[in-house]
Amino acid sequence: MGNDSSILADGSAMAVPGTSFNHTLFETALPPLPTFSLEAQPDLFPWVSDFWLNLLLPVVVYWVLSLTFHAIDVNDWFPQYRLHTPEEITKRNHVSRFEVARDVILQQIIQVVTGALLALSEPPEMIGKSAEGL
């Protein structure tokens, strides 16, 4: 035991500067990682790709809801739930329906082009499966 300063008189080990008591922790063999495979995520609906669904669904929902509220307004359905009386509505400044539709369509073109550029710049969505079913 002579000059070895890492062993104490009672035979126990003393930490050498720069090492720790649990240096054998990392020398044990780790279990192998589970095997898995990556696959492209399938489309939500088989008849339309997720790319087109992400681009067109917001536009379609907007027009369906807008036309629904327009029909309620034009046909004077549910008048008891109106926030503004017809007198208040006629006093306000109005833009034509054409101007509103033109601006909405322009905004939606910008939205679809921006969405397409962002979707094309990202990698495809992937899902993983392990051999153990996890």
Partner residues linked to 129 by β-bridges: 37
What per-residue confidence (pLDDT) applies to 10?
62
Mean pLDDT of 41-53: 93
pTM: predicted TM-score of the whole model, two decimal places = 0.64
Q: Give the pLDDT band of residue 1 (cuts 50, 70, 90).
A: very low
- Burial grade of 121 (CB within 10 A; 0-12, 13-18, 19 or more): exposed
The closest alpha carbon to 38, from 99, 121, 124, belongs to: 124
**Residue 27: both structure tokens together:** 């020398």
Mean pLDDT of 26-43: 80
